[in-house]
Structure 1
Amino acid sequence: MHEVGSWADGKLKMDPKEVVWKKGSRVFPSSVCSLPCGIGEVKYMQQPREFLADEFTCQDCGIGNWPHENKTGCYALSSATTAGPVLTSVNYAIPVWQGRAVPTATTGDHRRPPATTSDKEILQQVETSGD
C-alpha cells in the first residue's frame, strides 16, 4: 500500500494519478449515474408516442402525431399514414357485418336464430365436447 493523498486542516489533498483502480487501471472511472440520458432515453420506460420534455418527463404527442427520431418533439403524421389503419378496419368490419347478416337472412320468417331451433341434447353435446 502506498499513500495517494492526505487529510489536513479539514481538506483532502489527493493525487489522482497515484490511485490504482480495478484491474490495475489508473484511469478515473466514470459514474453511470452521472451520464446524461441519450436520445430516446429517460429515467423510466417511455411509450412509443411520447417525446422527452426534459430528462425526467415524457409527454404524449397526441393523436395524429409522432415523436421525431431524436425524441425532442413531435410532428404531424401525413394523411396517407393515418388513412391506412382506417381502411384496414373497414376491411375487417365488412366480413363481420356479413357474418351477422347471413344467419338472420337464412332464418327468414321464423324470427329465431338457427341455434334455438336445434334439439337441446345436440346443443349439450356440442358444449361439452369443447369444439
Structure 2
Amino acid sequence: MGKLQGLDEEVIQEKEENVVSYEEAKTKRRPFHYWKIGEREYKLKLTTAMIGKLENKYRTNMLTLVSEDNIPPLSIMLTILQAAMAPWEHGKSYADVQKLYDRWIEDGGNQMLLFTGILMPTLAVSGFFTEKQAAAMLESLKDMDELI
C-alpha cells in the first residue's frame, strides 16, 4: 500500500508541475486597433452587441460580410467601423464616419488600405481570428496591398 501511495503522490506532483494557469496560458490580444486621422486616433473594437446588430442589419455573419467578395463595399466597411467606434466615440453618426474617411483619404488613405490596414485588424482585435490567423492574414493582406 505504501508503494502505491508513493506513486500516487509522484503522479500528483508531476501533474501539478505541468499545470499552467489560465492567465499564463492565454495570449494577450491587443485591446484595440487604432485609426489615425490627422492628429487623432480613434479606438476600434467590435463588441458582441455591435456584432449582433451588424449581423441582423445585413442578415449574414460578419466573416461572410467581409470575405464574400474581394473587398466589401465602402458603405459596409464604414458601417462596421462606425459600430467598432461607437462604444468609445458616443454619438458618431454614419455621416460623421464618412467625413472622417474623406479626411483620411485627403491625408493619403485609400479604400484598399481601409480594408487591409483598418477593417481587418479591427476584426482581429475583436476576436474573429486567433493571433496566428490574424498575423498570417495581415501578412497576406500586406502582400496584396503591395501588389496593387
What interval of TM-score do these two structures reach, taking the shorter chain for normalisation? under 0.3
TM value normalised by structure 1: 0.22
The structure, 1 or 2, with the larger RCO (C-alpha pairs under 8 Å, 6+ apart) is: 2
Q: Which structure shows the bigger proportion of residues in strand conformation?
A: 1
Rg larger in 1 or in 2? 1
Q: What TM-score, normalized by structure 2, do the two folds share?
A: 0.20
Task: Name whichever structure is richer in helix by fraction.
Answer: 2
